[in-house]
Structure 1
Amino acid sequence: MKQICWITTCLALMLAGSAAIAQDDPLPAGFETQPLIKSSVSRDNEPIVYPTGKPEVISVIGTLAKGGRTPLHEHPVPVYVYVMEGEVELRTEGKEPHRYKAGEAFIETQNLKHQAFNMADTPAKILAVFIGEQGTPTTVAAK
């Protein structure tokens, strides 16, 4: 038991020491970041509204075939979208269409019906990250 406590203490001290070193240098050698998006509003300039209750983050990669589209739907939760491949066009009720190419990111509009259309000659891939809550749907089909 003493040996386990000693090992745990040594690990904690080593981690604390490395954390102190990491704080002196914002990014360690060999690691860089490329900011994609920082926003408090959606792509349609609507405010982002967080859900209440028990938080749940869900991420999916969606593939739209050539000429494909999503169904008409809406999101009751904030959704971060990153276009991995291809080009998509977002069409939202009452808003101008927006086009996004590979490498671009956006925050989806909440509670407004919209569809994504593949505008490329090849499949389009998107990463969608939903900031939701347990027991609450992230996507609702349009009626």
Structure 2
Amino acid sequence: MMSFFTRTIPPLIIGGIALCALAAQAADTTGIVAYKGKVLLDTNTDVLGKPVKYPEGKPRIISEMITLPVGATSEPNIHQTPMYLQVLEGELTVDYGTYGKKVYRAGEAFIEAQGVPHHGQNTGSGPLKFLAVYMGAEGIANEAKP
């Protein structure tokens, strides 16, 4: 004859595992997960808290690997399309004017500000390397001069 514990505990454990699996599945609203990995960014706003706005038109995605030497500064620019940026090496300081400055280091990922003049600088002690992915549309420049 099985004891209360041997009859009750295994079904409770199995039920708990099933509930955890359902909760995990419910949290993923994108459907199946082909590969499991570390989430680098999950957002619908840019670094300034503004909603990401995709341009109208035929989609065009461009990715670039950018390396800047110590002290190098970008031209002032305005992003007209969403841009995902991930710092791979070094330190990037971006000056958003009246919104202030933000510092990003290796491993950090963000959606760059749209429609806000800014410029970046390598403020680290070594080369700055980052991945930039522009999520634009044909006929629309990813960046413009302020």
Report SS of the residue matched to 1:109. Answer: coil
Distance in structure 2 (CA, Å) of the matches to 1:99 and 1:134: 31
Who is 1:104 aligned against? Answer: 108
Distance in structure 2 (CA, Å) of the matches to 1:96 and 1:138: 22
Q: 1:76 aligns with which of 80, 96, 117?
A: 80
CA shift digits 1:31-84 (9 cap, x unpaired): 641101111110010111110010000000111111111110010100000001
Displacement after TM superposition at 1:121 (Å)? 1.2
- Aligned-partner residue type, residue 137 of structure 1: A
Determine if contact 1:64/1:70 at 8 Å carries over to the other structure.
no
What value does the CA root-mean-square deviation take over the aligned residues? 1.4
- Aligned-partner residue type, residue 43 of structure 1: V
Displacement after TM superposition at 1:141 (Å)? 2.0
Q: 1:122 aligns with which of 119, 126, 130?
A: 126
Distance in structure 2 (CA, Å) of the matches to 1:41 and 1:26: 23
CA, structure 1 residues 41+64, in 2 after alignment: closer, same or farther (shift >3 Å)? same
- Aligned-partner residue type, residue 55 of structure 2: P
Determine if contact 1:88/1:117 at 8 Å carries over to the other structure.
yes
Task: State TM-score, norm by structure 2.
Answer: 0.75
- 4+ long deviations beyond 6 Å: none
Displacement after TM superposition at 1:119 (Å)? 1.1
Structure 1 vs Structure 2: percent identity of aligned residues?
32
Who is 2:92 aligned against? Answer: 88
CA, structure 1 residues 26+108, in 2 after alignment: closer, same or farther (shift >3 Å)? closer
- Aligned-partner residue type, residue 62 of structure 2: I
1:66 aligns with 2:70: yes
Task: State TM-score, norm by structure 1.
Answer: 0.76
